Amino acid sequence: MKTYELLAIFKPNLDAEEIDKAADGVISVVSDFGGKVESTDKIGRKKLAFDVQNFRDGFFVSMVLALPADKVAEFKRQLRLNDNIIRTMFIEVSKKAAV
């Protein structure tokens, strides 16, 4: 399994309890695909540089997760289908070179 980092921006009109439920939903999708979430960091509400889906700010959540490489495309599809997420950034974490 490869390690990935996900930065998800949730809608700002959700309260803290709904944000927790939405983040738990993402974690359950990862576990359904045979992966695991190594860490979750709720960064908080931040102002966006430009409007995204007519929202001027959003609630940022960062996750480091391990996921099988063949499940990545379906996981990204599930993220796009989630109505509470307005934007995502999903990248592979590279190993640092030994110097």
Domain ranges of the chain: 2-92
User: CATH classification of 2-92 is 2.60.120.680, yes or no?
Assistant: no
CA torsion sign for 14, 16, 18, 22 is positive
**pLDDT at position 6:** 94
**pLDDT at position 98:** 67
Question: What's the rounded Cα separation, in Å, for the pair 96 and 99?
Answer: 9
**pLDDT at position 1:** 86
- Extract long-range pairs of 81-84: CB within 8 Å, 24+ residues apart: 82/22, 82/25, 82/26, 84/10, 84/11, 84/14, 84/18, 84/22
H or E element that contains 44: strand 36-52
Chunked in runs of 10, what are the mean pLDDT values of the chain (99 residues)?
93 92 93 93 93 94 93 93 94 78
**pLDDT at position 18:** 93
**pLDDT at position 38:** 93
Structure pTM?
Answer: 0.87
**Bridge partners for 17 per DSSP:** none
**pLDDT at position 97:** 63
